[in-house]
């Protein structure tokens, strides 16, 4: 069982470059999310999706785009990378929005550095 798969694991970008972080889950989960984690800041929600074709903004959406064309995939696009986007990014999925019995599964993370 692969669970939640994120790629790439590590990436260095130059300021102004764009890139896409890929996320796929094989658990047929409806809900998928992207978080960023900065030192001492916990997990901050960037964007989330409650199903194919439906996305919404989280706490820190600026500079990021998402789409959900299939249940399995939820890519995160950085439009024009900035040093402030240097962070660890986690993709997550769950079978519902935090209802009892439904845990959140996280990918292994993508370490992004913008220089």
Minimum Å distance from CB 15 to another protein?
26
Distant-in-sequence, close-in-space partners of 41: CB < 8 Å, separation ≥ 6: none
Nearer to another protein, 71 or 94 (CB): 94
Contact 30, 36 (CB under 8 A): no
107 sits near another protein (criterion: CB under 8 A)? yes
17-76 residues near another protein, rule: CB under 8 A: 31, 33, 35, 40-43, 45, 48-50, 56, 58
**Count of residues for the chain?**
115
Residue 90 touching another protein (CB under 8 A): yes
Residue 6: count of CB within 10 angstroms of its CB: 21
Distance of CA 81 to the CA centre of its chain: 15
Q: Which is nearer to another protein, 80 or 96 (CB)?
A: 96
99 binds another protein (CB under 8 A): yes
């Amino acid at each position: 069982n692969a669970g939640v798969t994120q790629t790439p694991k590590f990436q260095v970008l130059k300021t102004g470059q764009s890139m896409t972080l890929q996320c796929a889950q094989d658990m047929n989960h409806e809900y998928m999310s992207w978080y960023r984690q900065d030192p001492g800041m916990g997990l901050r929600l960037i964007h989330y999706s409650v199903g194919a074709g439906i996305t919404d903004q989280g706490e820190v959406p600026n500079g990021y785009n998402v789409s959900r064309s299939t249940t399995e995939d939820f890519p995160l696009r950085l439009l024009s990378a900035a040093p402030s986007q240097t962070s660890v990014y986690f993709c997550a999925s769950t079978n519902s929005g935090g209802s009892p019995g439904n845990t959140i599964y996280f990918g292994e993370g993508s370490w992004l550095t913008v220089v």
